[in-house]
Amino acid sequence: VQVLFQSKEVFEIVLNNVCQNDAGLYRCVATNPQGQAETSGRITVTKNKDVFFGLDENVPIPVRDPYSPRCMSPAFKWFKDGKEFEASERFQVQFDDQEDTVALIFQHVTPDDAGLYTCVASTSSGKISCHAELNVQGAVQPLPKPPIAPKFLKELSNVDVCKGQNVALLEAQVIGFPKPVISWYKEDRKIESNDRYKMMTEGEANVTLMIKDVCAEDIGRYRIQAENQLGMVESSAALAVV
């Protein structure tokens, strides 16, 4: 049994070499100084593959290039309570072709997410599907606003510094919720805050990299990276001394 920590909010328990004794009710309990929450799910172990059921054979299967090395990779469709839905910022799909596993990861679960979920996998050989029921238990802390992937309102611009100028400023505006983590790079080297490099944030969107005592070594390309649980964006610009 392995417990995997996928992100700040996603944990998984993985059972290898599943046997009949693994069947039963599993419970996860999370505690902190503010209280306790728990959720549970049942694992059923079957000796056959009745958990997969055939679908309407008249539904066309997507045609793939037979000469492609991934021509047998399945195409997936997802259904909630019988209605198809698309993966989005809150519903992320991870497919591991080597392990033949696919996962639907929920971001910021709400009571409305409870229901019967079905995954349909299609290849040129046919279709199979499996389903599982999601139950949401306990109190759910509402978010102050909907989650938003990082997005630049203003990207970096090239900066020309005159000889003798002591300070250079690289400025951008980026939004997102949860608030994105900001990282700065010169070429491929991550910049750490020190006496010469200062990283500043003002308000909800303004971010600045301030370089003091500008010298020839500072000439080059700079990159800003903004990341939260929903995605990552980058912007870059050049610094020159004229």
The residues, ordered by sequence, that sit 6+ positions from 184 with a Cβ below 8 Å of its Cβ are 170, 190, 191, 197, 199, 209, 222, 223, 224, 225
pLDDT recorded at residue 82: 84
d(CA 106, CA 12): 12
pLDDT recorded at residue 40: 84
Domain boundaries, the chain: 1-45, 47-140, 148-241
pLDDT recorded at residue 2: 61
Strand partners, 165: none
CATH code assigned to 47-140: 2.60.40.10
d(CA 26, CA 41): 5
Q: 182 is written with which tokens?
A: 């900001």
pLDDT recorded at residue 160: 93
Percent residues over pLDDT 90 in the chain: 28
Classify domain 148-241 at the CATH class level. mainly beta
pLDDT recorded at residue 156: 96
Consecutive H or E run containing 119: strand 115-123
d(CA 72, CA 87): 21
pLDDT recorded at residue 70: 42
pLDDT recorded at residue 52: 39
pTM metric for this prediction? 0.46
Cα dist from 102 to 137, 142, 164, whole Å: 24, 28, 57
Question: Which residues in the chain come in under a pLDDT of 50?
Answer: 6, 48-71
Domains 47-140 and 148-241 share a fold: yes
